[in-house]
Amino acid sequence: MLRGQPIPFVRQITDRPVSVTASAHSTALRQSVETSSRSLQAPRVLFYSHDSFGLGHIRRTLSLCETLRARYEQASLLVLTGSSSISSLPMPTGVDWVKLPCVTKVGNGAYRSRFLPLAFDAMRNLRRGIIYSTTQAYRPSLVFVDNVPLGLEGELRSTLEWLRGRAPEARIVLTLRDVIDEPERVMASWRESGTTEAVERLFDDIVVFGSPDIFDIVSEYRWPQTLAAKCHYAGYIRREPRGHVSDTRAQWSRGADRLILVTVGGGGDGGPLVEHYLAGLEAAGSAGIGASVHTLVVCGPEMSITTRDRIRTLHAHRGDVTFVDFSSDLVTLMAAADVVVSMGGYNTICEVLSLGKPAVVMPRRHPRLEQWIRCTRMAARGLLRVVHPDHNPATALIREVRAALAAPAIDFASVNLGGLTTLEQLLPHLLTARRFNEVSCQCQP
């Protein structure tokens, strides 16, 4: 937490719009003028990443931090995150974070406390209080909200209302990956929860890190013109290896000619993919995938110890498979591999596209279809190979890996990977304080 700032009692924080008196309105406008010139030179930027599951949200958020820091060296960058892996990830220079207590997903839209002995309502109130008091103390000029407009179970709403009422000069930006979920489910959820109206009223811009050529969020989710006008398609996020690719390949190929990387991101639900792949390898017998092929399996920091130990024990006899629990530089491992076997998470697919790697993907289909939609759309364009998780996946994974090893190189030139470049170009706009008439309209008592 930020020092010197008391945490307000959770019961004082509500989701009602903040009422602003005429005096407060005048003060807010004066602060807006004072802040606008400062925000371009040394902006205060706040990032919210709810992070109930996996590494995707926080890794994407840190990429945005790195881009902003490269453009504005004096920027102050603060991340609000629930990721349990935040301290293990490479941290861009000058980024600080406030850790929210961990929650975990137990179903579509259902969560529980991961570690603390609290009922979920108490956990949500605790997180909401930390978010609210941190934002009040920090007073950002620019706010990025990742993927969930009102936060996990609405925990961000009171903070957004406060920003609109008491810090009206701040710009609030919603960042989305290419696909949220199947259209009917998203439209129903946003309608029932009031999210569409909230985004129209509380957010200034929407940046989509995807391409309408693959999934057009505006048309697929039938956004009204008021939302469509806020939307910027940035493209997918390009990833580059940080380490020495040749040295990494030599280290992990164990003398084999070909290297297969099996990665499941955070690993929380990655056990089935690893087990299917290894079962397929066992069933292939001595032929395996082919002559002189080694497999590196990265289990991920969130794979349960029970699952990890079971997999290692069952396949400990294999000299052509190596297991590691976690890698802080997965992109370099991908660059060193001949084929990547993975789930269909956003970050993993961006890495595959960036590196031009053949990929065999078994996307998650439950509780959301986000991965399945993304990967089947890309498979239709010949960018990767998809294995259905319910259609004999063990056999299918090995078959597709063999095919990927034998196939000619894939042309990835048609994919827009300019997400971070586009963001950098948008930053002067995003860091411009909201116009006087915008502030005036939203701050009337």
pLDDT digits (tens, 9 = 90+) for 174-226: 999 999 999 999 999 999 999 999 999 999 999 999 999 999 999 999 999 99
Question: Residue 149 above 80 pLDDT?
Answer: yes
* Lookup: tokens for 214: 């693959």
| Residue of higher predicted confidence among 128 and 40 | 128
Is pLDDT of 415 > 80?
yes
Domain ranges in the chain are: 10-237+420-442, 245-406
Lowest mean pLDDT among 101-110, 192-201, 327-336, 347-356: 101-110
Q: What is the mean pLDDT of residues 314-334?
A: 95
**Looking at 69-204, which runs of residues are DSSP E strands?**
76-81, 95-99, 103-107, 110-113, 142-146, 171-177
* 414 pLDDT higher than 50: yes
What pLDDT is recorded for position 345?
Answer: 94
Distance set, CA 138 to CA 5, 96, 100, 353 (Å): 10, 12, 16, 37
Mean pLDDT of 141-150: 97
CATH 3.40.50.920 fits 245-406, yes or no: no
- Strands 205-209 and 231-233, by their bridges, are parallel
pLDDT higher than threshold 50 for residue 20: no
Are 170 and 145 in contact by the 8 Å Cβ rule? The answer is: no
User: Per residue in 230-273, pLDDT tens?
Assistant: 999 999 999 999 999 999 999 999 999 999 999 998 898 999 99
> Which of these ranges, 51-55, 118-122, 184-188, 286-290, has the smallest mean pLDDT?
51-55
Give φ, ψ of 45 to 5 degrees: -120, 130
| Whether 407 contacts 357, CB under 8 Å | no
Q: How high is the pLDDT of residue 266?
A: 87
- Among the listed residues 261, 263, 258, the one whose alpha carbon sits nearest the alpha carbon of residue 342: 263
Query: How many percent of the chain have pLDDT more than 90?
Result: 79
- pLDDT value, residue 53: 67
Mean of the per-residue pLDDT values of the chain: 89
Tell me the C-alpha to C-alpha distance, in Å, between residue 124 and each of 10, 13, 46: 10, 12, 20
pLDDT for res 87:
86
The residue type at 144: F
In this structure, are strands 95-99 and 76-81 parallel, antiparallel, or unpaired?
Answer: parallel
Work out the widest C-alpha separation in the chain, in whole angstroms: 79
Q: Which of 271, 401, 409, 270 is nearest to 340 (CA)?
A: 401
Quick: pLDDT tens for 61-95: 999 999 999 999 999 999 999 998 888 888 999 99
pLDDT of residue 41: 73
pLDDT of 354: 97
User: What does each C-alpha distance from 346 to 126, 155, 186, 263 come to in angstroms?
Assistant: 29, 24, 18, 13
Q: What 3-state DSSP class applies to 344?
A: coil
23/381: higher pLDDT: 381
**Cα(356)–Cα(308) distance, integer angstroms:** 29
More confident residue, 11 or 112: 112
Size of the chain, expressed as the number of residues it contains: 445
Model pLDDT, residue 16: 44
Output the pLDDT for position 37.
52
| CB-count exposure of residue 330 (10 Å: 0-12, 13-18, 19+) | buried
Q: Is the per-residue pLDDT at 9 higher than 80?
A: no
* CATH no. for 10-237+420-442: 3.40.50.2000
pLDDT tens readout for residues 271-316: 999 999 999 999 999 889 999 999 999 999 889 999 999 999 999 9
- Asked whether residue 321 carries a pLDDT value surpassing 90, the answer given is yes
Asked whether the domain spanning 245-406 has the same topology as the one spanning 10-237+420-442, the reply is: yes
